[in-house]
Structure 1
Amino acid sequence: MYDTILVATDGSGGANRAVDHAIDLASTFDADLHAIYVVDTKRYGQSVVTDDGSVLEDLESRGETLLDEVETQSVVDVTRVVRSGRPSEEIGNYAAEINADLVILGNRGLGAGRDERIGSVAERVVRSVDRPVITA
């Protein structure tokens, strides 16, 4: 049913649930598992991220640490990628590049307010990605 699954993480509780779900599905369907972390240049400001290389390096390092955790948890091999840009766009672009059969992400990330049922990134991915999306 699923040959290629993409999971997005930002270290939030929702993302951690998404990672667990993605690992279970990838294991069940013997699917390729891809994990993505996106440095949100919209949130931090493109100039802040690119003008001082140390800020970008710190954010990318955080992403690598989170992807290490995904890889450590997983019973299947994980292809990992760190990207910079608008998270919803980068998730959608990467899903298209790898021809993902399914995208899984948290329903709310680190930037979502407590009252929100679904965060803005999850909503944008659900609305814009042309493949099945599960939010956890």
Structure 2
Amino acid sequence: MYDTILVATDGSEAATRATDHALDLASTFDATLHAIYVVDTRRYGKAMLGDSGEATAELEERGRELLGDIETRADVDVTVTLREGRPHAKIGEYADEIDADLLVLGNRGLGSGGEIGSNAERVVRSVDRPVITA
């Protein structure tokens, strides 16, 4: 049913649930799993991140840690990618690149309250692929 599954992570509780779900689905369907972390420079603003790149480097390192955790936990093939930009756009672009059969992402990110997060909503509205939010 699913050959290529994409999971997006930002380290939030919801993204952890989504990762668990994506790992289960990939194992069940013997699918290739792709994991993406997007350094959201828009969220913090270039002025706040500064010209030195230290803050961006820290966000990238956090992303590598999260992606490494997914690789360690997976019992199927997993490909990880780290991108920079607007999360919903980069997730959609990557889904197109790999021709994902399914996207799995948290329903709320790090900054969301009780409703669906803005990035999750934007992904759901902008891609023409099945999306599961957890």
Matching residue within 124, 127, 130 for 1:129: 127
User: In the aligned structure 1, how far is the partner of 2:54 from the partner of 2:74?
Assistant: 30
Which contiguous aligned blocks of 4+ residues in structure 1 show a shift greater than 2 angstroms?
46-50
Deviations, residues 48-73 of structure 1 (Å, cap 9, x unaligned): 44622111111100000000111111
Matched, 1:23 2:23: yes
Instruction: Specify the alignment match of 1:68 in structure 2.
Output: 68
The aligned amino acid for 1:135 is T
Q: Identity of counterpart residues, as a percentage?
A: 69
Post-superposition CA distance 1:14-73 (Å, at most 9, x none):
100100110111111111100000000110113444622111111100000000111111
TM-score by length of 1: 0.94
Q: CA-atom RMSD, angstroms? A: 1.1
CA-CA distance at 1:130 after TM superposition? 1.1
Structure 2: 5+ residue stretches without partners: none
Q: Structure 1 unaligned runs (5+)?
A: none
- Helix, strand or coil for the counterpart of 1:51? coil
The equivalent of 1:108 in structure 2 is 108
Q: Helix, strand or coil: the match of 2:67?
A: helix
Pairs aligned (count): 134
